[in-house]
Chain A
Amino acid sequence: MTGVSNPLGAEVARQLAPQVRFLFGCDVADPVSALEEMDFVHADTRHAAIAKLIRQLRIDTVVHMALTVDSAQDGRASHETNVIGTMNLLTGCTGPASRVERVVVKSSQAIYDASPTDPSFFSEDMVGPEREGPSATRDLREVEQFVGEFALRNPHCDVTTLRLGYRVTEETTLAKYLSLPIVPTFAGFDPRLQLLHEEDAAEAIVRSVLGEHPGVFNVAGSGVVLVSQAIAIMGGRPAPVLFPYGRWMARVGLRALTGIFLPGHLADVLAFGSVADCARLAAEFGWSPAYSTRAVMDGFARGKAAEVIEAPSPPQEYELQVFLQRRRRQELRGHQPGSTSLVTRR
């Protein structure tokens, strides 16, 4: 599993750990919370070594979450992580030495971008081969093209791509933007917004890891809220001051005013709206996100109003967990010397 150090990755790892025999996580950053059952290593998907890692460890299920969509990084850095990272990872999954049977890729609704000519709902096959639009959209299209090619070349392998909807948690740009006291919006636009709850996002990934659901799926909450409504729920006030044409100017202005850097695709969404059709998810998984868009928004507003009671786990806890893990592994090795059958799916 890649990208375990981002909050969603950590949550997925936490849920997966008790359900699989062996969980191996990697990321460039330290994990946000310690997990006893998970082996962690600092590995960068941008280096080809990740392929060797997959083969050596005889991994059978790869969960690829190291994709940056919503970040203040410049386009080139994200391109490295997203496109080159996915390429290296998939290289590790191909070839006779690989035992990979299932690949789950976390993609994003940002792949659709948003424009006035688009229909009101995006379904999974509305992604064309064209390489235009904001950098995140271009990257994701390239990534999904790699994934699609991989799926074609390896028919024995289940490949699931989940296009997760926009999320509002403390870290996302959208959340920071919506919780401003006075929110500069695009003048004359009040688009629809569709959101996905963090729990639903994690559950969708866990379900696709444990079940057999090959294909591409949109994952997003039901219903929509208007941007002005979302701002009002957060207790802010919309200020229609951003010029809707030439949106890079508005992005620069917003950064200067509030310090929030809107990625290009998010600026398009805040002007034209992006709503995904999740009928395929409901049909194939037999499951739909539990939180509607409105519930996500209300929940986030309530969370903002409440005081933080629980402090994040102290740094010693991580050390402790690592120690316990090492102990456990030594015991295991004692029982089965030279064991290689660790890597099996449940």
Chain B
Amino acid sequence: MTAEPAGVMTEPKKQLKKRSRKAEIVKPAPQGLRMPKAVRRLQRNAPAYAMQGLVELSTRLREATGHEIIDLNRVMGFVQFAYQQRELAQRGTAYSVDDFGFDPQWTESFLSVFKVLYRDYWRVETTGIENVPAAGRALLVANHAGVLPWDGTMIKTAMFVEHPHPRHVRALVASLFMGMPILSWFLRRTGQTVGHPDDTRRLLERDELVLVFPEGVKGTGKPFKDRYRLRRFGRGGFVSTAIRAGAPIIPVSVVGSEEIYPMIADLAPVARALGMPYVPVTPFWPWLGPLGLLPLPSKWRIQFHEPIHVETYPPDAADDRNLVMALADEVRETIQKGVYENLKRRRSIFN
């Protein structure tokens, strides 16, 4: 309750409002319960104290065991994430998204977490990153696996970790996910759009780097026994779009994504009832509940292949079904070969 009597305050206030609209410094109203000063100081300094404690603990543990138990670099990733989120909350409405609903600053705030996953969790080895142009349009075509699209996330992160000119990769997702709550919001805001030829063309015309998974949900929803066997590459629509937009196709093969969620069965009737493409059963899901959503830490290899220069064809070659199917097969073969080569290179799933 304010100390001033109400009658005295009303009239001068009205006059003030009429006369001028000067900015005034508004002090926050005192809250009901105010903590003692010492407690408030402690609250303010808590993050710094926690960090100091963690550094101390890390040093002690290293001295005691001779190993790096708590890697401070990893911890810093999460701290950075927390601070970036706070910064994002402070920008209010002073941000803009592009016409597709992409918010670069917001997307980059997640990178610190994805980088930890990239380096330490899946220990991704990326080769051929020099095949991706630093500027201009290109269409990345990759194999799709793993029940959840972590492969797309890791390709995006690879562009930021490995490439000398980091760029945002704009992936195309099935329209099905655009109808799902939370996913639709997250995917759009991080730069994804619907896998529609019209959208692909528009993105390429804006000289973006577009990622497409021609296998679609057939690739992510395949059983574990069929791992690393590429599915049909749609109907070659991605080739037509690339030819029309004059963008080179860069095949990308990903190894390791198949083992993150070994899918032993598919509950097709449940999936049909829920309107989902598949409902997976893995050794951990749904038995362990949300813990079953944790992907396995398999060893990943991502290879960017030499670009296939389809932009050398005239735009009306996009209607030549023979050429389009031949090129689609070529892309598929390159990716399949890359997958096999990388599989040979690894000694076990985790190494």
Contacts and interface: CB of A to CB of B under 8 A. Distances in A.
Interface stretch (A128-136, A169-177, A189-197, A319-327): A189-197
A294 B178 CA distance: 24
Given A116-B175, A119-B199, A232-B92, A244 B181 contact: yes
Interface of A: 115-121, 123, 186-192, 223-226, 229, 232-233, 244, 272-273, 275, 294
Interface string B184-195: 110011000110
Contact of A223 (B96, B179, B180): B96
B287 interface: no
Contacts of B92: 232
Interface stretch (B26-34, B64-72, B97-105): B97-105
12 contacts: A118-B196, A119-B199, A121-B199, A121-B202, A188-B180, A190-B189, A192-B101, A224-B98, A229-B97, A232-B93, A244-B181, A294-B96
B101 A273 contact: yes
A106 B199 CA distance: 27
A226 B100 CA distance: 10
Contact of A189 (B95, B181, B196): B181
A188 to B, nearest CB: 2
B54 interface: no
Given A223-B99, A224-B97, A224-B101, A188 B182 contact: yes
A223 B193 CA distance: 16
Interface string B76-103: 0000000000000000110111111100
B176 interface: yes
Given A226-B97, A229-B95, A190 B185 contact: yes
A254 to B, nearest CB: 17
Contacts of A229: 93, 95, 97
B320 interface: no
Interface in B191-229: 193-194, 196, 198-199, 202
Contact of A117 (B180, B194, B202): B194
Interface of B: 92-93, 95-101, 175-176, 178-185, 188-189, 193-194, 196, 198-199, 202
Nearest to A193: B101
Given A226-B101, A233-B93, A121 B198 contact: yes
A121 B176 CA distance: 17
B100 A120 contact: yes
B93 A189 contact: no
Contacts of A121: 99, 198-199, 202
Q: What DSSP secondary structure best describes chain A's contact surface?
A: loop
B100 A189 contact: no
Nearest to B201: A119
A190 B178 CA distance: 11
B181 A188 contact: yes
B328 to A, nearest CB: 22
Contacts of A115: 179
Contact of B202 (A120, A187, A226, A272): A120
B179 A116 contact: yes
A119 B96 contact: no
Given A187-B181, A189-B181, A244-B181, A119 B101 contact: no
Contacts of A244: 181
Contact of B185 (A120, A189, A232): A189
B194 to A, nearest CB: 6
Contacts of B182: 188
B203 to A, nearest CB: 9
What 5 A-B pairs have minimum CB-CB distances, sorted nearest first?
A188-B181, A116-B179, A116-B178, A119-B196, A188-B182
B188 A119 contact: no
Contacts of B180: 188
A259 B338 CA distance: 60
Nearest to B101: A192
Given A116-B175, A116-B184, A244-B181, A191 B198 contact: no
Nearest to A227: B185
A225 B178 CA distance: 18
A204 B261 CA distance: 55
Given A229-B95, A229-B97, 9 more contacts: A116-B175, A117-B175, A188-B183, A189-B185, A190-B188, A190-B189, A192-B97, A192-B188, A224-B99
A233 B96 CA distance: 12
Given A119-B199, A120-B99, A223-B96, A189 B184 contact: yes
B246 to A, nearest CB: 19
Interface-centre pick from A120, A187, A233, A275 (highest chain B CB count, 10 A): A120
A291 to B, nearest CB: 15
Most B CB contacts (10 A, CB to CB) among A115, A119, A224, A225 go to A119
Given A119-B198, A120-B100, A272 B179 contact: yes
B185 A272 contact: no
A121 B198 CA distance: 8
Contacts of A233: 93
Nearest to B181: A188
Contacts of B198: 119-121, 123
Contacts of A116: 175-176, 178-179, 184, 194
Contacts of B97: 192, 224-226, 229
A120 B192 CA distance: 11
Nearest to B18: A307
A115 B181 CA distance: 13
B181 A120 contact: no
A120 B98 CA distance: 12
Contacts of B98: 224
Contacts of B101: 120, 191-192, 224, 226, 273
B275 to A, nearest CB: 10
Nearest to B203: A120
Contacts of B179: 115-117, 272
A117 B173 CA distance: 11
Contact of B194 (A120, A192, A224, A226): A120
Contacts of A117: 175, 178-179, 194
A50 to B, nearest CB: 39
Nearest to B180: A188
